[in-house]
Amino acid sequence: MVSVEQNNGITQVVLMPNRSMSWETNKKILLAMFCLNMVIALAWTYLGAWMVLPFAGLEILLVGVGMYYVSWKLSFREVLVFENESLIVQKGVYFPKQEWQWQKSNTTLLRQPSNYRMSAPHLWLSHLNEKVELGQFLNRKEKKQLRRELQELGLPLKNLPK
Examine the domain organization and report whether 92 and 128 are in the same domain.
yes
Examine the domain organization and report whether 69 and 79 are in the same domain.
no
Examine the domain organization and report whether 86 and 27 are in the same domain.
no
Q: What pLDDT was estimated at residue 114?
A: 85
Examine the domain organization and report whether 92 and 155 are in the same domain.
yes
Last residue of a domain, one of 73, 90, 112: 73
Examine the domain organization and report whether 137 and 125 are in the same domain.
yes
Examine the domain organization and report whether 104 and 133 are in the same domain.
yes
For residue 6, give the amino acid letter: Q
Q: Chunk the chain into consecutive blocks of 10 residues (it has 162) and report each block's average pLDDT, rounded to whole numbers.
A: 91 92 93 96 94 93 95 91 92 92 92 86 91 92 93 90 80
Examine the domain organization and report whether 8 and 56 are in the same domain.
no
Examine the domain organization and report whether 90 and 146 are in the same domain.
yes
| Cα gap 140→144, rounded to integer Å | 6
Q: How many domains does the chain have?
A: 2
| Cα gap 93→78, rounded to integer Å | 9
Of the candidates 162, 142, 158, the one whose C-alpha atom is nearest the C-alpha of residue 4 is 142
* Contact (Cβ atoms closer than 8 angstroms) between residue 71 and residue 26: yes
Last residue of a domain, one of 73, 91, 115: 73
Q: What pLDDT was estimated at residue 129?
A: 87
| Cα gap 143→145, rounded to integer Å | 5
Q: What pLDDT was estimated at residue 45?
A: 94
pTM of the model: 0.79
Q: Which string of DSSP letters, residue by residue, matches 45-69?
A: HHTT-TTHHHHHHHHHHHHHHHHHH
Examine the domain organization and report whether 52 and 103 are in the same domain.
no
Q: Which string of DSSP letters, residue by residue, matches 16-30?
A: ----SS-HHHHHHHH
**Rg (alpha carbons) of the chain, rounded to whole number:** 23
| Cα gap 72→42, rounded to integer Å | 32
Q: What pLDDT was estimated at residue 150?
A: 92
**Which CATH number characterizes residue 133's domain?**
2.30.29
Could you tell me the residue range of the domain that residue 39 belongs to? 23-73
Query: Which of helix, strand or coil describes residue 32?
Result: helix
Q: What pLDDT was estimated at residue 119?
A: 85
Examine the domain organization and report whether 28 and 65 are in the same domain.
yes
